[in-house]
Amino acid sequence: MPLGVPGRHPRFDNGRFSIVLPPAPPGLVPYIAGWSEERLLSCPITRRRGFPGIAYADETPYDRDSFGVLWVRYVLRPKRRRGSPVFRNVHPYRQRRAMLNMMCQVCARMPPDPHGPHLFLLKDSGGPIREGELTTSPPVCVPCAAISIQLCRALHGGRFVAAWARRVPAWGVVGPLHHPRTLQPIPGCAMEQVKYGSEWAPWVRAARTMVELRGVTPADLDREFAALGRDRLEEEFARIAQLTAVA
Ligand SMILES: [Zn+2]
């Protein structure tokens, strides 16, 4: 398999690192993953009083984020009562919490420095992570980057690009849009990107926080993994396996 374009941006292929990565722990479920017993709740939508936009008839302060955008309602359960993992799903509230605190999306570890930089590992869409790039994928810690690369490649055959972002301002949300007249979901607009403060912000039900990556520099994961070393990575993998294993 080719290694991408040397010197342009780092791309990662199977096991092509200076150190041999320890195998990813089996049975690992990322913090933001969805589970079978956690599902979207369908709640009647009404017109918001005093403002343009949608609301829940029995709305509480927990239904909106700090930007005043309405969020989907989703079952949130303690770990032992979540059923089985559904890897293709992302839990909206855990995703939002990870973004808000810049927690690792796999092991939920808080960042060593809340002011950054933060490591982002995104699917390779044909180029490096750009300044100002938007994403709904929360950061990862370095050991979890080593795990994610292995797991996602096994699952999807995916390739990645990685970058450090010094600042990660909230940009908006992703979620279903509702029609301003009928209040019904607009067909074909189930996961639209909506900027905070934009004209559509009152008409979306957020399912993900979307952030903007600023102060971006490409991450040399090979160097990061080598700096930790295989023994330390093994220790970290064991810690992460305990934290994230299905109870
Ligand atoms: Zn982690």
Q: Which helix (H) or strand (E) holds 147?
A: helix 142-156
E-strand ranges in the chain read 33-35, 40-41, 45-47, 54-56, 73-74, 85-90, 118-123, 134-135, 160-167, 170-175, 192-195, 208-212, 214-218
**pLDDT of 120 higher than 70:** yes
pLDDT-wise least confident of 10-14, 36-40, 155-159: 10-14
CA of 237 to the centre of ligand 1 (A): 9
The answer to whether residue 24 sits within a structural domain is: yes
Q: Is residue 152 one of the residues assigned to a domain?
A: yes
Number of domains in the chain: 1
> For position 246, what pLDDT does the model report?
61
Domain membership flag for residue 124 = yes
Report the chain's mean pLDDT, rounded to a whole number.
Answer: 90
Say how many Å lie between the CA of residue 101 and the centre of ligand 1: 13
Q: Which domain holds residue 110?
A: 1-32+100-168+219-247
Between 2-16, 89-103, 113-127, 135-149, the lowest mean confidence (pLDDT) is in 2-16
Q: Is residue 180, in this structure, part of any structural domain at all?
A: no
Tell me how far the alpha carbon of residue 110 lies from the centroid of ligand 1, in angstroms: 9
Residue 214 bridge partners (DSSP): 167
- What is the reported pLDDT for 6? 38
CA of 138 to the centre of ligand 1 (A): 11
| pLDDT exceeds 80 at position 8 | no
- Residues, CB-to-ion distance under 5 Å, ligand 1: 104, 106-107, 109, 141, 144
CA distances from 7 to 121, 165, 225 (A): 18, 20, 19
Cα(112) to ligand 1 centroid in Å equals 11
The verdict on residue 45 lying in a domain is no
- The residue to which tokens 């067909």 are assigned: 187
For the segment 116-135, the average pLDDT, to the nearest whole number, is 93
Distance of CA 111 from the midpoint of ligand 1 (Å): 9
Residue 150 · residue 21 · CB < 8 Å:
yes
Instruction: Report yes or no on 161 lying in a domain.
Output: yes
157 band by pLDDT with thresholds 50, 70 and 90: low
Percent of the chain residues topping a pLDDT of 70: 90
Does residue 245 belong to any structural domain of this protein?
Answer: yes
How many CB atoms sit inside 10 A of residue 193's CB?
16
Is residue 77 domain-resident?
no
CA of 104 to the centre of ligand 1 (A): 5
CA of 239 to the centre of ligand 1 (A): 10
Cβ atoms of residues 79 and 85 within 8 Å: no
Q: Using the predicted structure, report yes or no on whether residue 211 has a pLDDT greater than 60.
A: yes
pLDDT tens-digit series, residues 36-87? 999 999 999 999 999 999 999 999 999 999 999 999 999 988 888 999 999 8
Taking residue 138's Cβ as centre, other Cβ atoms within 10 Å add up to 29
Which of 14-18, 100-104, 131-135 is predicted with the least confidence, judged by mean pLDDT?
A: 14-18
Distance 16 CA to ligand 1 centre (A): 21
